[in-house]
Amino acid sequence: MKTAHSPFQNTSVEVTLPEMTSLPTPSDSGLPRRYGDFPSFPAALDYAAQGSSGFNIYSGKGVLLETLPYSALREQAIETGKRLLSLGLKPGDRVAIVAESDGDFARIFFGCQYAGLVSAPLPLPVAFGGREGYVGTLRGMIEGAAASAVVIASIISSWTDEITAGLDLKFAGTPSELLETPITVETLPAIGPDDLSYLQFSSGSTRFPMGIAVTQRSGMANAHAIALNGLKVRETGDRCVSWLPLYHDMGLVGFFLTPMTCQLSVDMLPTREFARRPHVWLDLISRNRGTISYSPSFGYELCARRATSIELDLSSWRIAGIGGDMIRYHILEDFAQRFAASGFDSRAFTASYGMAEATLAISFAPLGSGIRTDTIDLRALETRGEAIPSNDPARALRTFVICGEVLPEHELEVRDAQGRVLQDRQVGTIFVRGPSLMQGYFRRPQETARALDSDGWLNTGDLGYMLDGQVVVTGRAKDLIIINGRNIWPQDLEWSAETEISTLRSRDVAVFSVDEDEGEKIVALVQCRASSPEARETLKTETASLFRRQHGVDVSIILVPPHTLPQTSSGKLTRARAKAMLLSGAFQPLETSSVPVV
């Protein structure tokens, strides 16, 4: 075996050059399946390392760059943990890692786990509206974590000084620089279940980022519940494929930590390449016989919309999970129709609900049943807070996706403003309790106290209702618009425009309210690709008319250029940041008049 020029060249661990890697790790590890029943992530990796499964790192073109069996990862992570402690770091210190989907992230993340250090994955500059905004966000996260070391992905290594200027750090550099650190510490600490494992920054963190503190115990509890009860991982034959970012809980927990804790192989694509070549994701599922893969709705939309000449066989895909955002069922219908001829079975769609404050998963819909929906009277929802079933085409209707039962050993309640538990079809705030919940927001006791009560219940900030033991999520409480006694969900207006107006795409519209002297006003920022003033004016008129006709509200339409609406690190539209940008004058509205502006 030829050894690459790598940080491990002076150790006993061999790293195969990417161009010499030919085969991914097998789907079956050869070990008796264990479902995350370990006291810590290092203990889980110790067991997984006895088998033959592991991570497989692919390029955006689907070329296998690195095969990383868990056996090799364990050795390399232990070496990395010793290097980290040799920098002068102490157990409990935080190590911020700009999370590229590659083997270096895996080595450093698990190196932290073995060393008793607290990993803090940070986003790549995918959705932050330019370098300045990204650097500011990253510095806020580093300071929020009180990090003692920062590892900057090689792709943005030239930004290191700008990102870390003035910070008191024991290390700031690239993975290769970190992994060349001489080892002077040979002993690793014992890792207990109540030790902090990592900090997860919520995807919408902006001005005041808060790290969600996840212990080894709570992380393992969620991984166990996901594998055993949610995904029902099989004894043999299952394989994961993912393009999800490792700085987001669905990517980190769902397709990095959980598969390792139940000895599954994972085929990983770089998130930053997915939007350019979304069908590579499907190609990996097809050629490696992937069985479990997740995406927010927009990932399915990209695949359904883009043409491809790749021949696909998606018949192995038994769990096509949906999460990370409100689920748009019509997008899933389009995907299923487009890829039915490629063997995709719509019954593989699996709705779920979760959030980083619960480590990841809270509920799963039953496997093999596809997407189940509930169509209700929209006006009853808006005026009375009741989800009354209706199929009357003469009435305004709203269809929600049913997100399944809460995980075993966890509890879920829907409560009104006075804290009373509501009956089925009554809309209120969703509360959850169970072993997967965060320890709290790192060094944010007041915010923690507002989210977690003394009985261990987490206020999710989500609104929803119960239906025959399953939860239906209707939106975020902070996004709710209240006009003349009506509770208006902004996504209803956004989805109407993006569905009914042919020139609009998913995530082209952001709706929110602003306070004015005469009262609250609804605003819609609409991304416009048209260049002529006439076409732009038509889009404004058509959108305003649609909102008035379908929803009975007057909305101020502001056209903005493409790619200007802000997104979270996981690719979700962020209305709060869009509103802040509008109020600060960050948008340049597009002209709809042919008269030159003087």
| CATH code reported for the domain at 483-583 | 3.30.300.30
Confidence of residue 2 (pLDDT cuts 50, 70, 90): very low
How far is the C-alpha of 451 from the C-alpha of 546, rounded, in Å?
38
- Highest-scoring range by mean pLDDT, 15-24, 396-405, 408-417: 408-417
Which architecture does CATH list for 26-54+65-261?
3-Layer(aba) Sandwich (3.40)
Q: What is the DSSP string of 183-249?
A: P----PPP--TTSEEEEEE-TT--SS--EEEEEHHHHHHHHHHIIIIIS---SSS--EEE---TTSH
Residue range(s) occupied by CATH 2.30.38.10 in the chain? 373-478
Helix (H) or strand (E) holding 547: helix 533-551
- Report pLDDT digits (tens) over 60-72: 999 999 999 999 9
pTM of the predicted model as reported, rounded to 2 decimal places: 0.87
- Provide the pLDDT confidence category of residue 303 given band limits of 50, 70 and 90: very high
* Amino acid letter, 471: V
What's residue 491's pLDDT?
87
Confidence of residue 126 (pLDDT cuts 50, 70, 90): low
Hey, what amino acid is at 75?
E
Which range has highest mean pLDDT (394-398, 463-467, 496-500)? 463-467
* Dihedral (CA of 570, 575, 580, 586) sign: positive
Provide the pLDDT for residue 596: 39
Q: What is the mean pLDDT of the chain?
A: 90
pLDDT at 79 over 90: yes
Given the structure tokens 């425009």, which residue do they identify? Answer: 497
Looking at 3.90.230.10, 3.40.50.2000, 1.10.3720.10, 2.30.38.10, the CATH number of the domain 373-478 comes to 2.30.38.10
Share of the chain above pLDDT 90, in %: 72
Residue corresponding to tokens 């799963």: 364
pLDDT digits (tens, 9 = 90+) for 158-178: 999 999 999 999 999 999 999
Cβ-based neighbours of 201, under 8 Å, separated by 6 or more: 120, 121, 122, 123, 141, 144, 209, 210, 211, 212, 247, 569
**Domain(s) of CATH 3.40.50.12780: residues in the chain:** 26-54+65-261
Six-digit token string for 180: 């060349």
Please write the tens of the pLDDT for every residue from 547-578: 998 888 899 999 999 988 887 655 677 888 88
Name the band, by pLDDT with cuts 50, 70 and 90, for residue 13.
very low
Start-end of CATH 3.30.300.30 domains in the chain? 483-583
Instruction: Tell me the per-residue pLDDT of 454-470, one tens digit each, with 9 for 90 and over.
Output: 999 999 999 999 999 99
pLDDT at residue 507, as a whole number: 86
Return the closest-CA partner of residue 265 out of 306, 230, 236. 236
Cα separations in angstroms, 430 against 313, 448, 505:
39, 17, 30
pLDDT in tens, 322-376: 987 778 888 999 999 999 999 999 999 999 999 999 999 999 999 999 999 999 9
Across the range 166-193, mean pLDDT stands at 96
Instruction: Could you list the beta-strand ranges (E) of 517-580.
Output: 519-527, 555-560
How does pLDDT run across 30-56, given as a tens digit for each residue? 999 999 999 999 999 999 999 999 999
Q: What is the pLDDT of residues 470-488, one digit of tens each?
A: 999 999 888 888 887 788 8
| Rg, the chain, Cα only | 24
Q: How far apart are CA 288 and CA 387, in angstroms?
A: 43
Average pLDDT over every residue of 368-389: 95
pLDDT at 203: 56
